[in-house]
Amino acid sequence: METAYLLGIDYGSDSVRSVIVNGQNGEELASSVFYYPRWRDGLYCNPALNQFRQHPLDYIEGLEATIKDCISIAGGADIAKLIKGISIDTTGSTPVAVDATGTPLALLPQFKTNPNAMFVLWKDHTSIKEAAEINAHAEKFDTNYLKYVGGIYSSEWFWAKLLHVLRVDNAVKDAMHSWVEHCDWIPFLLTGGKNAADIKRGRCSAGHKALWAEEFGGLPPDSFFSSLDPLLTGITEKLYTETHTADKAAGNLSAEWAERLGLSTDVVVGTGAFDAHMGAVGGQIEPYFLSKVMGTSTCDILVAPSAEIDGTLVKGICGQVNGSVIPGMAGLEAGQSAFGDTYAWFKSLISWPLNNLLDQSNVIDAATAEALKEELSALIIPELSRQAALLPVDEDNELAIDWFNGRRTPDANQSLKGAINGLNLGSDAPRVFRALAEATCFGAKSIVDRFISEGIPVKGIIGIGGVAKKSPYVMQMMADVLGMPIRIHQFTHTCALGAAMFAAVVAGIYPNVEAAMKAMGRGFEESYEPNPQLHAVYQKRYQQYQEFGGYIAQQTALKIQSQLQNA
């Protein structure tokens, strides 16, 4: 095989990472990570209102910086001329309003500081009301337009976010020509697109978040949306009917971007997809194994031959779409809205004195205070994990619910909140941390149980992402809770590796995704085996989790009902 290198670009919630890998064996030549500066500074976000927006400049600057850095690390121009393909994955649903040229409105001077003109990050839940309206509206139609997204539309998704932005911002409404997912816009950018109508829409994002389905011949009809709200009248004409799987090319690298990056215009750019879907490929997913991308949230992917599950629709998940992961297979998506974010919240909570009082110390100087903050911050989660692992597991421990950012699966409900029960004067930080870790593992079990109860077997778990690689404590607990082994993929940037595998296909190095996975897969570094005795205890704890969660959900529903009656 002729030497060929591929670029995989993975846009996460906090940063973008790029990798250059060898097309023959998937070996990493270089990697680079860029943390979004505006996002890092908390700009355009309001967590109290569930508003999380990202500026397109964060994405553009990170794209250029990481690719250039990778090329420099790998060997410069000699390596650059051997790069044959680029593919991109992103978070989702993370859409943005664009003008007729396909330019995000936030890149125009009049909108440069307007959050509604920016990308609406997946975890933005400002459109809870709109999602509820979509769910109620769908019941009025003979055709079930929600059947392929688990029967419940989420505020994390494409249409709810669009309707919310149109309602709250007339300036954006008037300037917007179309609404585009992040994973579709980056390939359009790299290929030099100048017309929004030319944006190639990925099958992955369209099917899982935008109600596109083969059965419907595309998106639901205009009548579905215009009768929901006249603001949506005619919007489908500016969107799409056709979608493309990620093994298809979006085009070639434009002359402008080839010059900026030091690459050739012969480089092929692939159609984009979501991070977890490409990550599942990078993690060497197998039919009926659940690939869990564990980061700030989790996104869980299962693939099955389409013919084997024909007619089976799993309720309460984030969709099932033919070809959204591997062409020829159905891709089924689930996930937890907060996973690593749960641990990060608790870390922030108990770090409050460090972050707010240390600077006032009369004992140490400012530089020492800052160094101490940084040192202790890095130690908190590892030490909490070590101390929590020493505690006995029994039925009477503190109990938590993991809905700190709502519930994604099963049965999306972003109105739900997290909770902790059974606190007493002996409930110290390690004990509360343990309860939170258990809650995230119980949330994972509820997803596995939903697949199984709906007739889709789960043969095992493949763990990828930051938490999977950095927290043996959580991974062992999850294996014990689930009662099944968890294999951890050894590649650090697994989603980016998956993107590189797709790049190898679009560049013609391999005929299909399966061949690229076989040649470029890097294997697994560790396996966590379940402890049968702990599994038995966790089964009882899980029952408590379900009962407590049911109570929280019931009280939340009553509160919302009361608010509607008093409105």
147: its two tokens: 């059947």
User: Is the CB of residue 94 less than 8 Å from the CB of residue 53?
Assistant: no
Give the pLDDT confidence score for residue 187 in this predicted structure: 98
Give the pLDDT confidence score for residue 563 in this predicted structure: 85
Give the pLDDT confidence score for residue 60 in this predicted structure: 98
Quick one: which H or E segment has residue 15? strand 15-22
CATH of domain 5-283+491-525: 3.30.420.40
How far apart, in whole angstroms, are the C-alpha atoms of residue 300 and residue 289?
10
User: Is the CB of residue 288 less than 8 Å from the CB of residue 302?
Assistant: yes
DSSP H helical ranges for 177-249: 182-190, 203-209, 222-226
- What pLDDT, in 10s, does the model give residues 154-185? 999 999 999 999 999 999 999 999 999 999 99
User: Is the CB of residue 217 less than 8 Å from the CB of residue 328?
Assistant: no
In this prediction the pTM is: 0.93
How far apart, in whole angstroms, are the C-alpha atoms of residue 357 and residue 442?
36
Tokens 């509160």 identify what position? 559
| Helix and strand element counts for the chain (H, E) | 20, 20
Output the DSSP codes for 299-318: EEEEEEETTTTTT---TTSS
**CATH fit for domain 340-489+531-566, picks 2.40.30.170, 3.30.420.40, 2.40.30.30, 3.40.50.10420:** 3.30.420.40
Please, which residues bridge with residue 320 across strands?
Answer: 332
325: its two tokens: 């992961």
How far apart, in whole angstroms, are the C-alpha atoms of residue 438 and residue 420?
11
447: its two tokens: 């997803």
Do 5-283+491-525 and 340-489+531-566 agree at the fold level?
Answer: yes
Give the pLDDT confidence score for residue 67 in this predicted structure: 98
490 burial (CB, 10 Å; 0-12 / 13-18 / 19+) is: middle
- CA-atom Rg of the chain in angstroms: 23
How far apart, in whole angstroms, are the C-alpha atoms of residue 278 and residue 205?
12
Give the pLDDT confidence score for residue 224 in this predicted structure: 98
Give the pLDDT confidence score for residue 565 in this predicted structure: 81
What does the domain layout of the chain look like in residue ranges?
Answer: 5-283+491-525, 340-489+531-566
- The single-letter code of the amino acid at 412 is A
What does each of the 567 residues of the chain score in pLDDT, given as a tens digit?
688 999 999 999 999 999 999 999 999 999 999 999 999 999 999 998 999 999 999 999 999 999 999 999 999 999 999 999 999 999 999 999 999 999 999 999 999 999 999 999 999 999 999 999 999 999 999 999 999 999 999 999 999 999 999 999 999 999 999 999 999 999 999 999 999 999 999 999 999 999 999 999 999 999 999 999 999 999 999 999 999 999 999 999 999 999 999 999 999 999 999 999 999 999 999 999 999 999 889 999 999 999 998 889 999 999 999 999 999 999 999 999 999 999 999 999 999 999 999 989 899 999 999 999 999 999 999 999 999 999 999 999 999 999 999 999 999 999 999 999 999 999 999 999 999 999 999 999 999 999 999 999 999 999 998 899 999 999 999 999 999 999 999 998 999 999 999 999 999 999 999 999 999 999 999 999 999 999 999 999 999 999 999 999 999 999 988 887 886
How far apart, in whole angstroms, are the C-alpha atoms of residue 375 and residue 368?
10
Give the pLDDT confidence score for residue 310 in this predicted structure: 82
Query: Residue 406 gets which letter from DSSP?
Result: B
How far apart, in whole angstroms, are the C-alpha atoms of residue 172 and residue 168?
9
Q: Write the CA distances from 4 to 83, 150, 498, integer angstroms.
A: 6, 40, 16
How far apart, in whole angstroms, are the C-alpha atoms of residue 32 and residue 249?
24
First-last CA distance in the chain: 68
Give the pLDDT confidence score for residue 384 in this predicted structure: 97
Sign of CA dihedral 147, 151, 155, 156: negative
Give the pLDDT confidence score for residue 190 in this predicted structure: 98
Give the pLDDT confidence score for residue 302 in this predicted structure: 98
